[in-house]
Amino acid sequence: MQYTFKEVFGTLVTQKALFDVVARPLVEDLIRGKNGLLFTYGVTGSGKTHTMTGSPGDGGLLPRCLDMIFNSIGPFQAKRFVFKVDDKNGVDVQCEVDALLERQKRDAIPIPKTPSGKRQIDPEFADMISVRDHCKVEEVEEDNVYSVFVSYIEIYNNYIYDLLEEIPFDPIKPKWNSCNTPVRNGDFIPPQSKVLREDQNHNMYVIGCTEVEVKSTEEAFEVFWRGQKKRRIANTQLNRESSRSHSVFMIKLAQAPLDADGDNVLQEREQITLSQLSLVDLAGSERTNRTKAEGNRLREAGNINQSLMTLRTCIEVLRENQMYGTNKMVPYRDSKLTHLFKNYFDGEGKVRMIVCVNPKAEDYEESLQVMRFAEMTQEVEVARPVDKPLFGLTPGRRFRNQAFKDELSRKLEIRGGPISGETEEQSVAEMLLQNFPPLPSCELLDVNDDQTLPRLIEVLEKRHRMRQMLSEEFTKNVLAFKTMLQEFDSSIVSKENYAQGKLTEKEKVIAGQKMEIERLEKKTKTLEYKIEILEKTTTIYEEDKRNLQQELESKSQKLQRQASDKRRLEARLQGMVTETTMKWEKECERRVAAKQLEMQNKLWVKDEKLKQLKAIVTEPKNEKPERPSREKDREKAFQRSVSPPPAPTAPPVRLRHRRSRSAGERWVDHKPPSNVPTETVMQPHVPHAITVAAANEKALAKCDKYMLTHQELASDGEIETKLIKGDVYRTRGGGQAVQFTDIETLKQESPTGRKRRSSPSSPTPPEDAAESEWTDVETRCSVAVEMRAGSNLGPGYQHHAQPKRRKP
């Protein structure tokens, strides 16, 4: 499997290299007033906590972030309690007097100290803080003051707990832990769960969370380690110290600008910039069938996996909304973890994730899921926050004010070195008093002393004269200074008048330029509007052009398809016409041959009739006897059919069986047992035939021809026998199939049939008598049967013809 990431670190990567690539940009954004979120994600035992905290001698991301923050803002930190956090995720600023009073109140509380006067840090993590690279942000706003606040929470079983909260122990009331079992005196009592709220800027925060103001890396890491001791860990089969909760260490940076003099902080809350960096150590995803967890461990694992699944679901919905333009609701509230960082995913900061992978073979499937999710998160784009506008104060105020104070102190030291805390007026007065002559001793030890008072009077007169001289000089200087001020004032007035005139001229020029600018802006807006209209028109025309081109291409393709279909249809019709022509030619030839055969049969029948007529005509004619009775006619007809008398001139008719045209082939003669024997003279005779009474598959397998004898009742009441012939074929399945080709019809008629149908009382006309004689002739003639194969008209097609009777 292959996955692509922004950066891949090997097993030998150092903590500093990882920090420079991943966390350093987040710290720079924090100092510039932007939020950031960094969390580690991976399977249990893959190194998430080690990446975040580090090891002794090699600090992880968290101590390095703290070290870089304090290295950057160290000289510009505000005094403690100048910034004060409120309970609504905001920060207030107060004057230094109020901050001093609050510091005095806090200092009145005794704090245990070490003999050296410093706070004692846990020796287990002392090396993490001591290892520093002294990295810092180069471009820091020097006219701002900064304060750092830290807080530490954990999300355990989808509940939020404050790890920095100090809960006093009450020995009177019984204590119960999360498992509903009593707690002994001195045992740890878990704090109460906290609630999430949304502030006025739509950022999520934890109500009542302890936020500690820190002034150094050591102090911040001490707060972190105090909360780390309360974090829930457990021993599982996969990890000896497995994190059973998601820990969130939040670093909040408050900064505000100095006033115009560069001495004090502005007391305006709107000028405060608040940024936050959240460092999250996620609990590892794990499978219960591998950890063999039971009881509390099983419930913890279920809640951990559920919160991580909610995180994945939120990322997938964000990705789907951005890729496909949908507006699905992101389920932030399904988990406290995603609900807390909702504002980060909505664009209130930069989000970075470190994926920790354990190369063990047992973690292969879970590592694939982790890396697939991490690769998918790179497709989610988080909007960046807009920078806040700068306020209108002169930059460099802090250093100019400090330089002015340093220069004033230097000059005062040159003039006499003022005592610290004295004002400039007191220093000048002392310098003037030093120029007066010193006063002599005024103590009178003797009544007759006449030297002390005269010396004192002389000194006082000198000081008085000097004072008058100084007063006169001061008056002269005041008059000169007043004159200079007047001259300077007049020059300033003249310059102001001149400047006012120039300013008026410039204002007129500026007004004209403004009018010209307004005219040009209106013209620009008009041109922009025209350009927009032209762009829209061009877009419409291009869209129409594309549509017409697509329509033209589709129609051309349609025409090509129609032309190809037409050519195929013409070729097909041509083939059908040719095939139809050939079929009709064959059909015409077949019909002509059949007609010729039919005519030949008719000619043969006529020849036979003429021969019989000749034989009858050549017989001797006797007188016409009376009409015999019906019984006698029937006896005569029967005698004639059996043995007709020989004619003197006509040759005798040879009575013989009609041979089948298919003699020599092997036939199956199918004669059903229901057939009635007609005892006609002309019977079909098929040599070498297998006679069967029912359809027999074994008989069909031995023969190649098939004949079925079928009888039915004709319209005149006589029995009509049909011989149905066919060819036997072998099928692909190993059986036999019969294809019928022609039918032969045998029919027997009585010569007295018409007399039987006539009325006995009516006399027989001569024409009927002649007709009955012709019928007798026809009966004695052989029956002409036409047989024709149905190969051209299809299997089973048959046609038969019978000779028609004519009157003489």
**DSSP type of residue 265:** B
**DSSP type of residue 295:** T
Measured over the CA atoms of residue 659, residue 662, residue 668 and residue 672, the dihedral's sign is negative
Secondary structure E strands in 643-697: 667-670, 689-692
- Residue 630 CB partners (closer than 8 Å, separation 6+): 752, 755, 756, 760
What amino acid is encoded at 804 in this protein? K
Query: Do 147 and 83 meet the contact criterion of CB atoms below 8 Å apart?
Result: yes
Separation of alpha carbons 798 and 300, rounded Å: 94
- The shares of helix, strand and coil residues in the chain, as percent rounded to the nearest 5, are 45, 15, 40
**DSSP type of residue 272:** -
Q: Is 335 annotated as a binding residue?
A: no
Separation of alpha carbons 167 and 187, rounded Å: 12
Separation of alpha carbons 205 and 196, rounded Å: 6
Separation of alpha carbons 437 and 432, rounded Å: 11
Neighbours of 473 (CB within 10 A): 10
Q: What is the 3-state secondary structure (H, E, C) of 589-604?
A: HHHHHHHHHHHHHHHH
Separation of alpha carbons 674 and 725, rounded Å: 19
Q: Is 47 annotated as a binding residue?
A: yes
Secondary structure E strands in 597-686: 667-670
Q: Is 44 annotated as a binding residue?
A: yes
Separation of alpha carbons 613 and 636, rounded Å: 19
Helix axes 424-435, 397-415, angle to 10 degrees: 20
What amino acid is encoded at 773 in this protein? E
Instruction: Tell which residue, 384, 319, 304, 375, has the closest CA to residue 330.
Output: 319
**DSSP type of residue 373:** H
Q: Is 11 annotated as a binding residue?
A: no
**DSSP type of residue 705:** E
Kindly calculate the radius of gyration of the chain based on its CA atoms and give it in whole angstroms.
65
Separation of alpha carbons 227 and 163, rounded Å: 5
What amino acid is encoded at 172 in this protein? I
Q: Is 483 annotated as a binding residue?
A: no
Element of type H or E holding 587? helix 452-617
User: Kind of pairing, strands 273-281 and 350-356?
Assistant: unpaired
Q: Is 705 annotated as a binding residue?
A: no
User: Kind of pairing, strands 159-162 and 144-156?
Assistant: antiparallel
Distances, alpha carbon 559 to alpha carbons 97, 545, 564, 570, 574, in Å:
93, 20, 8, 16, 22
Q: Which residues are annotated as a binding site for ATP?
A: 42-49
Q: Which residues are annotated as a binding site?
A: 42-49
